[in-house]
Copies of this chain bind each other. A is one copy, B any other.
Amino acid sequence: MSFLSFLLGEKKTSASVAKDRLQLILINERRGSSAGPDFLPQLQQELVAVISKYVKINPDDIKVNLERQDSLEVLEVKIEMPQPEASA
């Protein structure tokens, strides 16, 4: 799982901020077909809607990044889920 440490090997210095994070990466590689309709933006909205059924999501805590590179589209959705500070 070496790519994991790569993907998640970000600074973890703020140890006091313990947040759950959910990260969705969608990679669309078009090798066989010419460019079809660009469905990623709408697909992303639906995917986030599905995820929000399972975890509480604050829309402000969603960061979306879409990159294109040749026949490659990469959609990245990062969701931070702050925990309640003190639970009874």
Q: Which residues of A contact B (CB under 8 A)?
A: 1, 3-4, 6-8, 18-33, 39, 42-43, 46-47, 50-51, 53-55, 67, 69, 72, 74, 81-83
Contact = CB atoms under 8 A, between A and B. Distances in A.
A6 to B, nearest CB: 6
A22 B32 contact: no
19 contacts: A1-B67, A1-B69, A1-B74, A4-B27, A4-B72, A7-B27, A19-B31, A20-B28, A20-B29, A20-B30, A20-B32, A21-B29, A23-B27, A23-B29, A25-B26, A25-B27, A32-B82, A42-B54, A43-B54
Q: Is the interface of A mostly helix, strand, loop or mixed?
A: mixed
